[in-house]
Structure 1
Amino acid sequence: MSEAILDIKDKPKAGQWISLSLQHMFAMFGATILVPQLVGLSPAIALLTSGMATIIFIIITQFKVPAYLGSSFAFIVPITIATETGGIGSAMIGAMFVSLVYAIVALIIWKTGYRWLMKLLPPIVVGPVIIVIGLALSGTAVDMAMNITVNEVSQYSFKHFSAALVTLITAIICNIYFKNIISLMPILIGIIIGYLYSAMIGIIDYTAITEANWFAVPDFLIPGADYSFTVTPTLLFVMVPIAIVTISEHIGHQLVLGKIVKRNYIKDPGLHRSILGDGIGTFISSLVGGPPKTTYGENIGVLAITRVYSVYVILGAAVFAIIFSFLGKVMAVIDTIPTAVLGGISILLFGIIASSGLRMLVDNGIDFGDKRNLVISSVILVIGIGGAKIEFSEAFSVEGMALAAIIGVLLNLILPGRNKEELDDGTE
């Protein structure tokens, strides 16, 4: 592998610093603003909290890990369910409890090591759950792409579907036919081209842009001030089990990032520090109304292409994200993005999420000739995608991907013939 142009602690020159940091911000921009658009949160607060969470993460990891934290797609369905049952405040409180799980896991790793976590979350459990996350959202993506609501009735619209297709095709072209930085920003470029096409066919309402101020404070959601909440068992079982997936995703990102920058992040600064940083970032985000956070593969890709590993460049991207969140006109433009455009990009994005679960199974050589593996994956997929539910009372139920994740872990622990497959930590 080629040597780094800027290593972890190197500071770039001012002009170079700005351009490199903006590059990272735009790499994560499309995905980070898409999540709040899908769950009814403020894109501005999502941008603000992504910057805040990234700064917190870098501090906690002792300025050793150049990772950017953006909105997590794993929580789209849980946030939607929590919001439907108890309001958006319930989703935010649920995210806080997820961050508590991160803290507990980090503490246990600090005291006992990380091997137990690798054994608890093997690829045969995590892979199918990731597939569930992607496919469970497929219906939402297609509905957004094809249909519009007229007088509270959903109707098919070819005009809107054409905007979705233009968006989707643009993202595919960027991803497949470009090998430079453009290939790492298919979401953002797809949205931009889809937006321009939507303007050409006249399906954009510009009212929000004309009415917006150039400077605007993001819409904060503070517990006790902007919403009341009740913590219920159902809320916890909707949100908390998704940590099974996001922690696994976190470990995977740390391993990949470590290989790129030639460090072992599992050992130094330690998995406990990076998980804690992710958890505290999620806690701060949910405390002010932002979605849960996760490290972003897009930014890891930027690091690999540019060979600029400086944490100061990542910090610069975080600062730019915070600044952008206060630009009212920019946020208003985001609010005018047609649902069809978001649906078009979601078709690709949710499919990629599902495919990444398949890739985890393939990369780890999971043998589906083994009945044990076949049973575990089959049960996870059908329960998760089918939306199975265990209802203990009117106020307490466990359903969907949360139930699938829990059952997957239990089956892996209980069924005989448990092998030694686990996520490869890259160490001897």
Structure 2
Amino acid sequence: MLFVAFGALVLVPLLTGLNPNVALFTAGIGTLLFQLATKNKVPVFLASSFAFIAPISFGVAQWGIPATLGGLVAAGLVFMFFAFLVKINGNNVIDRILPPVVTGPIIMVIGLSLAPVAVGMAMGKDSGLQAENYQLIIISMASLLTTLIVAIWAKGFFRLVPIIAGIVVGYALSCAFDIVNFQPVIDAPWFKVPDFTFPEFQWQAILYMIPIVIAPTIEHVGDIMAIGAVTGKDYTREPGLQRTLLGDGLATTTAGFFGGPPCITYAEVIGAVTLTRNFKTQVMTWAALWAILMSFIGKIGAFLSSIPTVVMGGIMVLLFGSIASVGINILVKHKVDLSVSRNMCIVSLVLVFGIGGMIFDFGSYALQGISLCGILAIVLNLILPQQTKTNN
């Protein structure tokens, strides 16, 4: 289970500047907290959602890592707030606040806004690597192609690890082209306490990060329903959606306090449960304990940090495109009719504001990106009157 989650678990910190050893530690702690909140009834392992890559990267560039972590702590509290709403209003409150016409375009913006970053990394821009341009393209495209092949044609367990497969091939090519620096791995100690970073609370970073929780909340509900379909149990009723959301909130807030990325329910692990038919929560407990143990091995973090950015770039091309595709799929799956003026206006404004880089500058605080899109979509959904398609 840990191996399946490992690729994406460490990918988020490597792409956002956070520490991969800390990410392993907080994923383990977060999973244990989730089990506590859900009365040890839901067999999932927690890791970071790709939806957080863009906001964390922006936050780190804008306010630094400590302030961004403060925003992530607040994001965990939003999960807890949603849990409270479900507790007092029932499961349908999430659908009322965040219908598909809201969540679909927001998720599309998350993926599409990162497209230039993915392409730039795949081309080796500003990587500082001592290699010819054609070599960098070969590495990134080999990583991309491997990820595609494994995701589509691999069978059984191997279909669950396309990211790891892409990294292995890209890393091997990087070694062949002699662009990997092994010295930090050699110098790193075997045992090392993770480099924890503790949060600072700046209201600008907090206000920016809070709306980001919209997309992972919808992802969480889908994951809980999916794992319930696999195991034959309705986890939205027992232990209840309010408890699973609480578990995500506790895990994310705790991760922020230690310097790790947010920890939420994760699709790849659900795929592993589906494949192995292993529904025991004890397996997730052991996976969490192994993650905590591995976080204290210094050479693991040094090795992960030695992976050239161009390898990640190739994988990110597919990864961020797939995030946008999830948003499109939400609109299609729920039959959101874009010929209805209300729906068309919401989707259109969110896409243009998000991809075009609209900024509302209030002096000491600027509302932009995914945060702006989230607030815009929710407000428009609440104030625009419901419409049905009319035939002229």
TM-score for the superposition, normalised by structure 2: 0.95
Match of 1:198 among 165, 171, 174: 174
Q: In the aligned structure 2, how far is the partner of 1:299 from the partner of 1:272? A: 21
Match of 2:238 among 268, 290, 315: 268
Please tell me whether the aligned partners of residues 69 and 198 of structure 2 are also in contact (alpha carbons under 8 angstroms). Answer: no
Match of 2:379 among 410, 416, 422: 410
Please tell me whether the aligned partners of residues 384 and 400 of structure 1 are also in contact (alpha carbons under 8 angstroms). Answer: yes
Please tell me whether the aligned partners of residues 189 and 298 of structure 2 are also in contact (alpha carbons under 8 angstroms). Answer: yes
Could you give the per-residue CA deviations for residues 271-309 of structure 1, whole angstroms, max 9, x where no partner exists?
110000000000110101001122110000011111111
Mapped pair 1:26 → 2:17 = no
Shift of 1:418: 5.3
* Correspondence for 1:140: 117
* Correspondence for 1:97: 74
Please tell me whether the aligned partners of residues 30 and 46 of structure 2 are also in contact (alpha carbons under 8 angstroms). Answer: yes
Counterparts in 2 of 1:108-147, with a 5 A limit? 108-147=85-124
Q: In the aligned structure 2, how far is the partner of 1:331 from the partner of 1:231? A: 29
* Correspondence for 1:88: 65
Structure 2 unmatched ranges of 5 or more: none
Secondary structure of 1:147 counterpart = coil
Please tell me whether the aligned partners of residues 148 and 156 of structure 1 are also in contact (alpha carbons under 8 angstroms). Answer: no
Please tell me whether the aligned partners of residues 121 and 127 of structure 2 are also in contact (alpha carbons under 8 angstroms). Answer: no
Q: In the aligned structure 2, how far is the partner of 1:238 from the partner of 1:156? A: 39
Mapped pair 1:311 → 2:288 = no
Mapped pair 1:379 → 2:349 = yes
Shift of 1:188: 0.9
Mapped pair 1:218 → 2:189 = no
Secondary structure of 1:149 counterpart = coil
Please tell me whether the aligned partners of residues 148 and 155 of structure 1 are also in contact (alpha carbons under 8 angstroms). Answer: no
Mapped pair 1:67 → 2:44 = yes
Please tell me whether the aligned partners of residues 127 and 309 of structure 2 are also in contact (alpha carbons under 8 angstroms). Answer: no
Match of 1:353 among 295, 307, 323: 323
Q: In the aligned structure 2, how far is the partner of 1:169 from the partner of 1:150? A: 21
Q: In the aligned structure 1, how far is the partner of 2:106 from the partner of 2:155? A: 30
2:372 maps to a residue whose letter is L
Mapped pair 1:399 → 2:375 = no
2:134 maps to a residue whose letter is F
Secondary structure of 2:362 counterpart = strand
Counterparts in 2 of 1:22-61, with a 5 A limit? 24-61=1-38
Please tell me whether the aligned partners of residues 131 and 177 of structure 2 are also in contact (alpha carbons under 8 angstroms). Answer: no
Q: In the aligned structure 2, how far is the partner of 1:414 from the partner of 1:149? A: 44
Could you give the per-residue CA deviations for residues 206-235 of structure 1, whole angstroms, max 9, x where no partner exists?
111111111121110124xxxxx3522x32
Could you give the per-residue CA deviations for residues 351-406 of structure 1, whole angstroms, max 9, x where no partner exists?
1111111111111122222222222111111111122111111x111101110111
Q: In the aligned structure 1, how far is the partner of 2:333 from the partner of 2:272? A: 22
Shift of 1:415: 1.2
Structure 1 unmatched ranges of 5 or more: 1-23, 224-228, 420-428
Secondary structure of 2:361 counterpart = strand
Q: In the aligned structure 2, how far is the partner of 1:163 from the partner of 1:337? A: 12
Q: In the aligned structure 2, how far is the partner of 1:101 from the partner of 1:151? A: 39
2:256 maps to a residue whose letter is S
Q: In the aligned structure 1, how far is the partner of 2:376 from the partner of 2:80? A: 23
Q: In the aligned structure 1, how far is the partner of 2:100 from the partner of 2:155? A: 29
Please tell me whether the aligned partners of residues 386 and 400 of structure 1 are also in contact (alpha carbons under 8 angstroms). Answer: no
Shift of 1:155: 10
Secondary structure of 1:111 counterpart = helix
Give aligned pairs, total. Answer: 388
Secondary structure of 2:261 counterpart = coil
* Correspondence for 1:15: none
Please tell me whether the aligned partners of residues 265 and 271 of structure 1 are also in contact (alpha carbons under 8 angstroms). Answer: yes
Shift of 1:187: 0.4
Please tell me whether the aligned partners of residues 147 and 156 of structure 1 are also in contact (alpha carbons under 8 angstroms). Answer: no
Match of 1:231 among 198, 202, 206: 202
Please tell me whether the aligned partners of residues 126 and 248 of structure 1 are also in contact (alpha carbons under 8 angstroms). Answer: yes
1:182 maps to a residue whose letter is F
Match of 2:158 among 176, 179, 182: 182
* Correspondence for 1:169: 145
Could you give the per-residue CA deviations for residues 104-144 of structure 1, whole angstroms, max 9, x where no partner exists?
22122212222222111011110111111111111111111
Match of 1:283 among 253, 257, 263: 253
CA-based RMSD: 1.8
* Correspondence for 1:5: none
Could you give the per-residue CA deviations for residues 395-422 of structure 1, whole angstroms, max 9, x where no partner exists?
1111011101110111111111257xxx
Identical-residue share of aligned pairs (%): 39
Please tell me whether the aligned partners of residues 12 and 48 of structure 2 are also in contact (alpha carbons under 8 angstroms). Answer: yes
Shift of 1:236: 2.4
Secondary structure of 1:220 counterpart = coil
TM-score for the superposition, normalised by structure 1: 0.87
Secondary structure of 2:189 counterpart = coil
2:351 maps to a residue whose letter is L
Runs of 4+ displaced beyond 6 Å: none
